[in-house]
Each structure stands twice: as structure tokens, then as C-alpha cells.
Amino acid sequence: MGDIRNILILTGAGISAESGLATFRGPDGLWEGHRVEDVCTPQAFRRDRALVQSFYDQRRAALAAVVPNFAHLALARLDAAWPGELLIVTQNVDDLHERAGATRLLHMHGELMSALCLACGARSRWSGDLGDGPACPACAAAGTLRPDIVWFGEIPYQMERIEAALGRADLFVSIGTSGAVYPAAGFVQQARACGAATLELNLEPSAGSAWFEETRSGPAGALVPAWVDEMLAR
Ligand code: OAD
């Protein structure tokens, strides 16, 4: 790797696995016992609102029982110390990056701790349940809040900011993601086209591994702190 000033880091469910949160594509192909299309689409929400609200209410409540792991903490350390541009783009809807202390962070697939109002479009911080139809803090309409999650068929958040950061990146690092869901799965090709070095840190080779110049296999809790140490020693 040559001179590195600007870093873009993409994270996925694998970075939170060692905190005890299930990844999406486990060996049984289910997410917490559900088919992804039964809980992660606008159609599913229209078909069975109570099921989808209750599913995300459980995921939100589960966050209280988990803590950031060594990988989240190492990225927060890099974020605090890195003098160049740095952006952590997470596909995760948990809040473990920010609880570890990361600040240069965006949630492209939304957040469990946020509610989206179908009436006024406001996004409000949310820590309780949505299933009992609470009023929107912004417009006061009742029963209009849905999980602020980007479901299949919806457009991820802040794509322009991500594209701009990809264009400026000297290094693109992908951590704990299967490379199965676009547009995030295509970031490595975009980064390469703009001249960035590319590195994958994942438990096992992913669907996109062949696109990376370097791939390291192992648990994020070990690989990420070691890589951060390397970066800060440069
Ligand atoms: P996946 O469940 O598809 O992939 C998780 C990846 O993490 C796999 O490649 C695992 O091998 C790897 N992994 C598991 N444990 C690990 C560990 N301890 N250390 C390092 N890697 C580990 O999750 P994502 O790629 O994040 O979208 O899924 C992408 C999107 O699909 C999600 O954001 C979600 C889902 O549909 C939405 O909810 C909108």
C-alpha cells in the first residue's frame, strides 16, 4: 500500500457477531427465525404490520443486553486518532459503533434507535417500542411510526456522501459483510476504479473476496485491532 490519507470503512453484521447479535445470513438462512423477505420489505410491513413492528421492537430491546466488542472499540480508536479523512459506513442497524465512541459514522441501512414517520417523514430518536402505535414526536399523528430501517427495494441513506468519500478514498476496508447486498457490495469495485487500495477483513472469504487486493480471514475481534495498530504505526 502506498501513501494513505483517506480511509473508507464498510462494516456489516459480522462486526457485531462477537457482541452476540445474529448475522443475517446464518447457516439456517434465517434472521432470528424469520425469512428476510417476511420482515425486511415494505410489502411485509403492509401485509403484517404487527409482526414486523414486534420483530424490530425485539431487536431494539436486545441492544440493551449487548456491548461493543474489540472490533468496534478499535475502529473508534482509529477514528479518534487518524489525521486524514475517515468515514465508517455501516450496514448495521445496531448502535455499537457509536457506543464504542466512533463519530465519523453513517448508517446506510437506517437505525433501530430511530423511528420514521409515514405521515410527515421526520426521523426521531427512539428507544421504546413502536408496536403499540405511539404518536410521532414531530407531527403528533398516532400510529404512523415505522422502524427507520432501509428495507429491500428502498434506497439506502446518504448515498451521495458515500459516493463522494469513495471517490476520495486511498484505502477501502470491508469488515464482516457477506458482499451479498447492493449497493454496498459494489463499493469495492467503485473504490478500485478510483485508485484506492482494498482490504477485506472477514471470518471467511465472501462473495466479493476476489475484488479485494488483500483478504484476511478470522474473527473481527482479533483482525480489526491488529489492523488498526498497523495503521496507527505507519
Ligand atoms: P451477512 O449476515 O450477510 O454477512 C455477515 C458476514 O460476516 C459473513 O460473511 C460472515 O462470514 C461474517 N462474519 C460472521 N461472524 C464474523 C466475525 N466474528 N468476524 C468477522 N466476520 C464475521 O450480513 P451483512 O453483509 O451485513 O440489510 O448483510 C447486509 C445487509 O443484508 C444487512 O445490512 C441487512 C441484510 O438484509 C438491511 O437490513 C437493510
Per-residue pLDDT tens digits for 173-224: 999 999 989 999 999 999 999 999 999 999 999 999 999 999 999 999 999 9
Q: In what side-by-side order are the strands of the sheet with 145-149? A: 123-125, 110-117, 145-149
Determine the Cα–Cα distance for residues 21 and 7; give it in Å rounded to an integer.
Answer: 26
d(CA 134, CA 53): 12
Q: 40 CB under 6 A from ligand 1?
A: yes
d(C-alpha 191, C-alpha 93), whole Å: 24
Distance 23 CA to ligand 1 centre (A): 5
pLDDT at residue 95, as a whole number: 98
Q: What is the mean pLDDT of residues 63-70?
A: 97
46 CA → ligand 1 middle, Å: 26
Cβ–Cβ < 8 Å for 130, 145: yes
Given a contact cutoff of 8 angstroms between Cβ atoms, the answer to whether 167 and 194 are in contact is yes
Name the residue of 24, 55, 151 to mutate for ligand 1: max ligand atoms within 8 A of Cβ.
24
Give the pLDDT score at 29: 64
Nearest atom, ligand 1, residue 91 CA: 33
Q: Which residues pair with 200 in a beta bridge?
A: 174, 215
pLDDT (mean) for 29-47: 86
Which triple of cell numbers denotes residue 91? 450496514
Ligand 1 center–CA 178 separation, angstroms:
5
pLDDT in tens, 21-36: 988 877 666 777 888 8
**pLDDT tens-digit map of 102-139:** 999 999 999 999 999 999 999 999 999 999 999 999 99
> Which one is predicted more confidently, 67 or 2?
67
Q: How large is the average pLDDT for residues 52-62?
A: 95
Q: What is the mean pLDDT of the chain?
A: 95
Look at the pTM and tell me if it is higher than 0.85.
Answer: yes
Q: Is the CB of 204 under 6 A from ligand 1?
A: yes
Q: What local confidence, expressed as pLDDT, does residue 1 receive?
A: 67
CA–CA gap between residue 106 and residue 126 (Å, rounded): 17
Going by alpha carbons, the residue nearest to atom 22 of ligand 1 is: 14
Which among 88, 91, 216 is the best mutation to test ligand 1's pocket, defined by most ligand atoms within 8 Å of the CB? 91
| pLDDT at residue 37 tops 90 | no
| The pLDDT value given to residue 33 | 83
21 CB less than 6 Å from ligand 1? no
Q: Which residues of 162-195 are buried (b: 16+ CB within 10 A; e: fewer)?
A: beebbeebbbbbbbbbbbebeebbebbebbbeee
109 catalytic? Reply is yes
Residue 209 Cα to ligand 1 midpoint, Å, equals 14
Proportion of the chain above pLDDT 90, given as a percent = 91
